[in-house]
Amino acid sequence: MSKAISRRDFLKVSGAVGAAGLLAACGGSGNAGSTAASTAASSAAASVAGLSSDPVTLTMSWWGGESRHNAYQEAIKAFSAEHSTITVNPTFAAWSGWEDTMSTKFAGGVAEDVCQINWNWLYNYSKNGQTFIDLNSVSEYLDLTQWDEAKLAACNVANSQQCVPVSMTGRIFYWNKTTFDKAGISFPTTLDELMAAGKTFQEKLGDDYYPLHLGAYDRMILMVFYLESKYGKDWADPSTSTLNYDADQIAEGIDFIKSLVEGHVIMSLPTYYGSNGDNAAHQSTEWITGKLAGCFEWDSSATKYADALDEENKAGFTVGEEIKFGDYNGGFSKVSMGLAITKTCEHPAEAATLINFLLNETTGAEIMGSECGIPASKAGLAAAQSAGKIKELVAEANGKVMAFVSNQLDPLFESNDLKATGTGVYQEVFDTLDYDNVSGADLVDTLLDGMESVGYTV
């Protein structure tokens, strides 16, 4: 048995995926017919009670970094000042382990009233409209006209507007100019330049310097980016999740990632784990001190990675360009996150009023700024821009992503069983690649079996 699989099994035993059974229970209705979906949607669209004159308590949950936590809390405080009868009790943490926590809550019917959710959670936990209400039922309190129809449509599942998008996002390269200057080279914009950077870093700076860092999930996203750039087609059909690539092409993609390790472009995962465990890259000493001089991350993460750098390296943080790996522009954009109201919420009118305050109203939108990405709400974006609360780095990163990417994401790509840190199939594939020094052909079946197990047609 490979070391990678042993590590994955150990984390399972230790409880990293303790919610797996409940996740299955929650998603078990995913095969129900359209009649059930229509019934759920019709029920969700029923009118709700109006605002109460009595004191009301709401709960709200989200994940993120410290700056996001602070923004939400400040905005909630401002909301309660304007709505003195509504108290909001928040629950929040970093991303690691968050989806496992929330999947347990969704399955048990104990999730918070208002939840920050990932787009694919609509399919994972509410495919038939069983978990989140139809926001059309609270449109008197939440102005849905502030979103473009296409963005709303992306969040309409089972004929139900189950969330509103907070922002749109995609992946972009971030570089540390301080380290690249030490190496005497410019940022890479082609595959040849990226490979050359790995060799230069090793020769001029030493074995512990790398031009790029990719965790396991990052490797999967970059692999898809590479294949889409070369072959010009979505990873999978965005509506049916039918895979568009054959085993040989996927093996080629895995071998592309292997070439980055062998070419000293990225640190091997065993080496990274040895120093950092499962900590995110921005928390690693290597990133903070500039030894990892690049990453491939969400545009909304720009300030998180910039702020983590030490004083010597902070000024060097740069939003790069998308790398051209082929004749096509690979990569995808997606709904970064949404806000949804659970069906267990006893006060949906108040919950909708809270969401409207955070995303559409001037006071709330100014406080939130771009902490959750560039606002998708037209009114929210205008308010944040007028107040100067759109972070320049995030805006620059978002602009570059949206101008370049050309592909669509299917909802199964981010299934927790696939992408979970430490235990997901993507982790298993790329851990095994590094630990056991195998080829892409040896790992294709592992990846395809995992994809099929969450619903892909392969």
Q: Please state the pTM of the whole predicted model.
A: 0.80
Provide the pLDDT for residue 38: 38
Provide the pLDDT for residue 228: 98
Query: Is the Cα torsion angle 94, 95, 101, 105 positive or negative in sign?
Result: positive
Neighbours of 452 (CB within 10 A): 12
Which tokens sit at 212? 């790029």
DSSP state of 301: G
CA distance 416 to 439: 25
The fold for domain 3-168+335-390 equals: D-Maltodextrin-Binding Protein; domain 2 (3.40.190)
326 with 229: CB under 8 angstroms? yes
Provide the pLDDT for residue 416: 87
Distances from the Cα of 271 to the Cα of 179, 223, 286, 424, 431, angstroms: 20, 20, 11, 19, 11
CA distance 312 to 324: 30
Looking at this protein, which amino acid is placed at residue 74? Answer: E
- Going from N- to C-terminal start, the domains of the chain cover 3-168+335-390, 170-332+407-453
CA distance 45 to 206: 61
402-453 pLDDT, tens digit each: 999 999 899 899 998 999 888 999 999 999 999 999 999 999 999 999 999 9
CATH code for the structural domain at 170-332+407-453:
3.40.190.10
Give the up-direction half-sphere exposure of residue 65: CA atoms within 13 A in the CB hemisphere.
Answer: 17
Backbone angles phi, psi at 223, to 5 degrees: -60, -45
Strand pairing of 56-63 and 86-93?
Answer: parallel
77-124 pLDDT, tens digit each: 999 999 999 999 999 999 888 999 999 999 999 999 999 999 999 998
Provide the pLDDT for residue 86: 98
**Following DSSP, what letter does each residue of 229-281 receive, concatenated?**
HHH-S-SB-TTT-BB---HHHHHHHHHHHHHHHHTTSB--HHHHHHHHTT--G
Which tokens sit at 293? 């001089």
Provide the pLDDT for residue 46: 57
Could you list the pLDDT tens digit for every one of the 458 residues in the chain?
333 333 334 333 333 333 333 333 333 333 333 333 333 334 445 567 789 999 999 999 999 989 999 999 999 999 999 999 999 999 999 988 899 999 999 999 999 999 999 999 999 899 999 999 999 999 999 999 999 998 999 999 999 999 999 999 999 999 999 999 999 999 999 999 999 999 999 999 999 999 999 999 999 999 999 999 999 999 999 889 999 999 999 999 999 999 999 999 999 999 999 999 988 899 999 999 999 999 999 998 999 999 999 999 999 999 999 999 999 999 999 998 999 999 999 999 999 999 999 999 999 999 999 999 999 999 999 999 999 999 999 999 999 999 999 998 998 999 989 998 889 999 999 999 999 999 999 999 999 999 999 999 99
CA distance 162 to 414: 18
Same fold, 3-168+335-390 and 170-332+407-453: yes
